[in-house]
Amino acid sequence: MIHALPWRRALGRVRGYAELGKPRVVALIVFTAMIGMMLAQPGPPPAGAFLAASLGIGLAAFAAATLNCLVERRIDARMARTRARPLVRGEVGPLQALLLAAVTGGAGLALLGWQANPLTMWLTLATFVGYAGIYTRLLKPATPQNIVIGGASGAMPPVLGWTAMTGEVSPEALLLFLIIYAWTPPHFWSLALYRRDDYARAGLPMLPVTHGEAYTRLHILLYTLLLAAASLLPVAAGMAGGVYLACVLLLDAVFLALAWRLYRAYSAALARRVFAWSVLYLSLLFSALLLDHYA
């Protein structure tokens, strides 16, 4: 038992490092980037370039999430949702987190510059700065529109995937960007609704804190309508066909129904359902794009 304790501490440290990078968020980022890569090619993308770009984008996203946890560790300590993060618990120190972000971020950018192209590397760096710097340090504590403005960074992964394969930013890549950009406010505001007390305690000006529950519910509905319109643009542009159209109409119908119910009558359970559906919605929408592409 005595000899097992150092191993437990080591495993706890490794787990803490992994949690700093928000692996579930990074998985969704890499997934949408991979879809962008596959949509950019008429056939399957080259395996080596595909894997290298996926790893590079994933490492950069991991680094940005780690830096976000480092910057917000005092805020995280005041929120029930985040007070168990490794930096708050003391499992990982600030210097260790900074070194982890520097190593993973540098490795990701170097890999993209070497195996993809300079445009993808620079766009990934801009995305990193936009999220870890502009959004986390400037926008999030300053304005209730932080999600709307800062959503540009979160919408970049499919663009990064597209440029990794083509070396250019095309109109089709920008349509993918627009879909995620419109998706971001209802996704985060539904979370902020049922975590309103958390954000208020942390002193963050999220929309439910500054403008109230009813105002936020209205804007979730309005942005869900905007998202539904944006989700149809790939069909209008000839980027997708009937398979995608059938899938996205169903996905939009469910999202709009949930947003309408939330607008009409609030409950924390319903806000959680909207948030959970928003995650599934984005995954299924991009899967439908890929299915249509190879159909």
pLDDT profile of the chain (295 residues), mean per 10: 55 78 93 96 92 97 93 86 85 90 96 96 95 83 84 93 96 96 96 92 90 95 98 96 97 98 96 97 97 93
Task: Check residue 143 and give its pLDDT.
Answer: 86
Contact 86, 17 (CB under 8 A): yes
- CATH topology for the 1-168 domain: Tetracycline Repressor; domain 2 (1.10.357)
The sign of the torsion formed by the CA atoms of 163, 165, 166, 170 equals: negative
Task: Check residue 7 and give its pLDDT.
Answer: 58
d(CA 91, CA 206): 29
Architecture of the 170-295 domain:
Up-down Bundle (1.20)
Nearest alpha carbon to residue 57 among 123, 103, 134? 123
- Sequence-ordered strand ranges (E) for the chain: none
pTM of the model: 0.92
Domain range list for the chain:
1-168, 170-295
Task: Check residue 233 and give its pLDDT.
Answer: 97
d(CA 263, CA 281): 19
Nearest alpha carbon to residue 147 among 99, 60, 210? 210
Helix (H) or strand (E) holding 88: helix 86-89
